[in-house]
Structure 1
Amino acid sequence: MLFLSTRENYTAEELFKIKQLRQLVEKSEELQIGTDETFLTKFLYYTHWDTFKAYQAIHAYYDFKLKHPTWMAHHPIQYYAKVFNATQCRFIMPQTDKNGRVLVIFKTVDAFQQFPDYLQHLIEMDDLIFESLLMLPRVQQNGITVICDLQGTTRNFLRQFSPSFMKIVNEKNGILPFSQRIVHIIQRGFLMHVTSSLFLPFMNKEFKERIFTHDGRHLNKLREMVGFDSLPAEYGGPVTNVLDTKLMLNHLNQNADYLEKMQSYKKRIM
């Protein structure tokens, strides 16, 4: 099942490392966070089960949150439901890609007139989505594939993408504990090429190597890399693969209490 939230068995060594990381976090006077298994294992998978690197990754994550609090979600799921439903721009597929990675689709949809704080909503919505995906053992183990469809990009979006904004995007990409993240950018026309050219210079080399661009009119490469059976119909997949926002919203709502609790996790200034 795609949304299976527990892993059946851990090895004795993995259980030892979970316990070891828990003890490190509990002894920290700075970290005010949870120590449940699901929370800890996402950092352990991210660092290939190196306990001390996982501990450092936790600190890096909450250093970022302390430095850039507006780049994290601060509201319950229902606060964002109206934007989710009105924009239809965030989706998850019911089956993984051909490599076992959970497949998510982000579309650029201009809703700046309807929602004055639209960009901030998107930043917080994406934070919730990533946190919710990182709860899944399948994602912790295999990572995710993201299709960024930029074909709805407008000048309203381009106005937001200042160098300082893009630097923070890159900084957050560097602390998200995904064991692997593959990004496919779909673009068409002048504005879309401008968008990707704004993003790419700020990406670190390692992340940039996992970004692939596609012309919106020619998606053979996308089908080959992701897998025909996994793709939405509008990107050349089976006609039965229809994008549905409810799948993502249902997943968020089912984990709403846990996600809201994590919003209170923080690093204290000593």
Structure 2
Amino acid sequence: MPERNKSTQAIILSVKQQGENNRSVCIVSPDRGVFYATLYGGAKSKMKSLVQPFNTGLIYLYEDEARHFIKISDFDVKSCHLSLHTDIYKMMAANLASEILIKTKCAGDYAEAFKLFSAFLQGLELTQGFESRTGTIRFLWRYLRLLGLQPDVNTCSSCSALISTQASHGGTYIRHINGFACRDCTPSFSEGQKFAKQEATALSSSSLFYLNAVNTMRPSTVRGMELSPQNESELKNFLFMLIEQALGSRLNSLETGSGIL
């Protein structure tokens, strides 16, 4: 008979009412990915104060595999990320990342997705304002790489010219090929057809440089790089579009967080 009492590192993604006294808890862990467990107990239960969204620690489970049943026995919380419950932007950004993990099933790489998400929450907790927003940009870009859907920002998809070195004009993202075109090749992609606005997205050279830096430089170095508000807005809109394109559906967190994220 398999062992029923188990433990794993975990981050709580969401908690929903289940019946009068119980909760359905969505959890992510590095060895199980996204899964659901039941939390029993009334309103005064100590566990209900511990099992809250974005709390991180070692969770103890009782699992009956034959009945496809998992319940939470205990939770040793290591970090509560308190500002994610009081700062509206941080809360929305964490919800966005949670929804992406759930909908992509951690991109099939539970350990790496957990690592990225955990680092993102820690970064949100330690930053304020604009720094939190640039942290969201870095998380989305890294997660696209985990999905295997991160476009190459260095070379033109048509002529293989180095785009990131063309400091004066950047490049244009062509949606149907999930790649970038240099200034000279962009017109050839639209010959004989008219692109809708969402089919081609121009990014400045500084935005492309930043995305490349996220891939190639140490995280501490990238965190220290300056990003203008214009670049932040440009990259944010681009990455929101790209992640929804990767998922093939709209993200509820982007709808509810419109004007905040």
After TM superposition, the score normalised by the length of structure 2 is 0.29
- TM-score of the superposed pair, with normalisation by structure 1: 0.28
Compare relative contact order (CA 8 Å, sep 6+) and give the higher one, 1 or 2. Answer: 1
Q: Which has the larger radius of gyration?
A: 2
Q: Whose helix proportion is higher, 1 or 2?
A: 1
Which protein has the bigger strand share? 2
